[in-house]
Amino acid sequence: MLDLTKATDGHVHTIALTGELDHASTPRLHEELARLRLSAGDRLVLDLAELSFCDSSGLTALLAAHEISLGAGAALELATPPALLVRILRTTGLTEVFTVRDADRDRARAEVRSRR
Amino acid sequence: MCAAGTGLGDSEESNEDGDPTVRDSRTVFSSLLEDDTEELYDNAPCGYLSTLMDGEIAKVNDTLLGWLGIRREELVGVRRFADLLTGGGKLYHETHYAPMLRMHGQVRELALDLVAADGRRLPVLVTAKVKTGQEGQPLLVRITVFDARERRAYERELLAAKRKAEEERARLERLTGTLQRTLLPDALPVIDGVDLAAHYHVASSDQVGGDFYDVFPLGGDRWGFFLGDVCGKGPEAAVLTSLTRYALRAAAVNDADPVAVLTTLNTVMLHQRRPGAPRFCTVIFGVLEPDRDGLTVTLAGGGHPPPLVLRRDGEVSPLPTPGGQLVGVLPGARFTAATTRLRPGDVLVLYTDGLTEARRADGTMLEEEGLAEAAVAMTGENADGVVGSLVRLLTDWSRSPSDDTAILAIGNPVTAAAALQEAGCST
């Protein structure tokens, strides 16, 4: 099961992934990525906070997103990847290839702290 | 003015009985309504019969007599319902039909074969209900018999289609198995001074797995080995596995330096890539150099989980190749090498993530930490023993592993001479 939610706000394109990115569901993310119209200077954000599983097939979609962004002169960000994906990125030597942002999680934590 | 007579009561004039056309159609309609029930009973589009509680036929309609080609007087008061059935049907009647009728007062849609006078079999569906008297005492059994020839033919077609699908599936599994074997070594080579063992598990029998391994000669008492995992499953993964295996073996002939071999593989795979559909593998490639008192292993990792070194003395540690990147996607991918020396009794274990991602029913994963912990108990075993223990660990963790798994263990065997030497040292 994978839910994809798309949003475009000016130059920022966001795809939020909820569920499992595996052999069965990855083609749908590939389709969404192929449909994107990215311009130079745009930002593509893959929101991974609700991603519960990712295997090697899923990784091909993230690599495709990287390739598409690079080709268009856009910047790709992986937002709040789960620990499982962070481990995969580390094992496959891709930590430096992707820009990983945990800003939202940090902000949420900061807010929780400031309320105390 | 009117096209009256085509229907009933569709104009003012048609309400007058004086209109001859209206009278005609009404006559037809009322003759339909006055169809006498006896006539309907006899010529209904299904067979009817009634029997006494002991099965003796008391009444039967013309339809059924026509199907059977039997005259009424040959049946009524002479034969029982079971007499109309085939041998198997009679048995079924005794064991199921009659008891069900007694217990529930009815049976529904039983598939039976009647035997006609000329010996033909008539596939029918039988529904029967017991008629009871005012005190609830059973009086007789009413039976309807439906012609099921079409339906039975349809069922036969379904069965034939199912059998065909099963045959196709078996054929696919044989084909997949054959293809799978071409992607793995027939048998591991026998190497003096090296102890080898492997395990390979494909999660689904109709999909070629994406894991691979091999051990092969490089000449001059040096041996190459690799183990890896291509992304995806099925035919595309098989193509990529095939490409990877041959590229690795060919590259190693030219220059067996592990970093150089992975760099060549990366170049070959990049040449094969299709835009928008990245395909990659993660792999460890290495070289074995046995010598008089040990075994030197040099390897490079391309985005693959680090192998584990099981020392004979009980120590377990990963052999990382930090920063090594997956192969086939990034131009100029970085690979790093690592070296270790295996003394007698030490075993190096390479594996794919099917092992570390084994999940228990509650969802917890074995993971690299869990594997390293469990491996402590396996130190001191030979390569075969370690692989056996790892397979047991895998099946302990997940009863039916959902991911492909490959394991390759490379050990330096404890020879009699080494054991003697050790014994000598310790005294």
Q: All domains of chain A, ordered by start, with CATH?
A: 2-115 (3.30.750.24)
Of residues B30 and B134, more confidently modeled? B134
pLDDT beyond 80 at B3: no
Both B286 and B363 in a single domain? yes
Segment A70-108, tens digit of pLDDT: 999 999 999 999 998 999 999 999 998 999 988 655 555
pLDDT at A111: 60
What span, in angstroms and rounded, lies between the C-alpha atoms of B80 and B74? 11
pLDDT band at residue B11 under the 50/70/90 scheme: very low
Same domain, B367 and B238: yes
Q: Between B232, B277, B302, which is nearest A56 by CB?
A: B232
Tokens of B425: 């040292």
CA angle B174, B353, B375 (to 5 degrees): 115
Host H or E run for residue B422 = helix B416-426
Give the E-state strand segments of B18-89 in sequence order: 47-52, 57-60
Q: Do A64 and B233 lie within an 8 Å CB cutoff? A: no
Name residue B26's amino acid: R
Residues B116 and B189 in one domain: no
Query: For testing the chain B interface, which of A32, A54, A91, A98 should be mutated: the one with the most B CBs within 10 Å?
Result: A91
The answer to whether residue A29 scores a pLDDT higher than 80 is yes
Look at strands A43-54 and A75-79 and give their pairing. parallel
Domain-ending residue, one of B121, B147, B173: B147
In this predicted structure, what is the pLDDT of residue B152?
86
Which chain B residue has the Cα nearest residue A89?
A: B303
Which H or E run contains A37? none
Q: How far apart are CA A62 and CA B388, in angstroms?
A: 36
B52 and B111 together in one domain: yes
Both B105 and B214 in one domain: the answer is no
Q: How many CB atoms lie within 10 A of CB B389?
A: 16
Mean pLDDT value across chain B: 87
C-alpha B167, offset from chain centre: 13
Grade residue B273 by pLDDT with cuts at 50, 70 and 90.
Answer: confident
On the CB side of B152, CA atoms within 13 Å amount to 14
- A32 — pLDDT class (breaks 50, 70, 90): very high
Per the structure block, which two tokens stand in for B363?
A: 């969802």
Q: Is some CB atom of chain B closer than 8 A to the CB atom of A36?
A: no
Instruction: Looking at the structure, tell me whether residues B345 and B278 fall in a common domain.
Output: yes
Quick one: tokens of B206?
A: 């109709």
Q: Of B124, B147, B170, which closes a domain?
A: B147
ipTM of the complex: 0.84
Q: Cβ–Cβ of A60/B323 closer than 8 Å?
A: no
- Output the six-digit token pair for A66: 């990287």
CB contact under 8 A, B278 and A64: yes
Sequence letter at residue A101: R
Per-residue model confidence (pLDDT) at position B9: 41
| Minimum CA–CA partner of A62 in chain B | B278
What is the reported pLDDT for B2? Answer: 41
For residue B341, the domain's CATH number is: 3.60.40.10
Any CB–CB contact under 8 A between A68 and chain B?
A: yes
What confidence score (pLDDT) does residue B17 get? Answer: 52
Pick the range with the lowest mean pLDDT from A100-104, B159-163, B376-380.
Answer: A100-104
Facing B277 at nearest CB: one of A64, A91, A94: A64
In chain A, what are the helix, strand and coil shares in percent, each to the nearest 5? Answer: 40, 35, 25
Q: By mean pLDDT, which of A104-108, B7-11, B147-151, B327-331 is the weakest?
A: B7-11
Say if B266 falls within a structural domain.
yes
Residue with tokens 């990245």: B278
pLDDT band of residue B363 (cuts 50, 70, 90) is confident
Domain annotation covers residue B77: yes
pLDDT score of A115 more than 60? no
Checking if the pLDDT of B163 tops 50, the result is yes
Whole-number Å distance between alpha carbons of B323 and B328: 15
B315 lies in some domain? yes
| Residue B134 covered by a domain | yes
Read off the pLDDT of each residue in B401-412 and give the average, rounded to a whole number: 87
Query: B44 to chain A, minimum CA–CA distance in Å?
Result: 54
pLDDT of B8 strictly over 50: no
B323 and B229 within one domain? yes
Q: Which position has the higher pLDDT, B277 or B189?
A: B189
Residue B81 within any structural domain of the chain: yes
Indicate whether B163 belongs to any domain.
Answer: no
The tens digit of pLDDT for each residue in B24-77 reads: 776 776 666 656 888 889 999 999 999 999 899 999 999 999 999 999 999 999
Q: Among B99, B130, B147, where does a domain finish?
A: B147
Torsion from C-alpha of B158, B159, B163, B164, nearest 10 degrees:
-30
Mean pLDDT score, B66-95: 93
Measured between alpha carbons, how far is B211 from B281 in angstroms, rounded to an integer? 9
Lowest mean pLDDT across A93-102, B15-24, B175-184: B15-24
Put simply, the answer to whether B233 touches A92 (Cβ < 8 Å) is no
Tens digit of each residue's pLDDT (9 = 90 or more) over A39-72: 999 999 999 999 998 988 899 999 999 999 999 9
Domain match, B118 and B220 both: no
Domain that holds residue B101: 35-147
Based on the fold, state whether residues B267 and B372 are members of the same structural domain. Answer: yes
Question: B128: domain CATH number?
Answer: 3.30.450.20
Does B7 fall in a domain? no
Chain A interface disruption, residue of B236, B263, B282, most A CBs within 10 A: B282
Does residue A106 sit in helix, strand or coil? helix
Interface test with B, best of A55, A66, A92 (most B CBs within 10 A): A92
Strands B121-132 and B138-147: antiparallel
The answer on B414 and B267 residing in a single domain is yes
Q: What pLDDT was estimated at residue B4?
A: 41
Q: How many domains does chain B have?
A: 2
Domain presence at residue B46: yes
- Provide the pLDDT confidence category of residue B10 given band limits of 50, 70 and 90: very low
- Same domain flag for B204 and B253: yes
Q: Does B220 share its domain with B298? A: yes
* Chain A residue with the nearest C-alpha to that of B281: A56
Is the pLDDT assigned to residue B335 strictly greater than 90?
yes
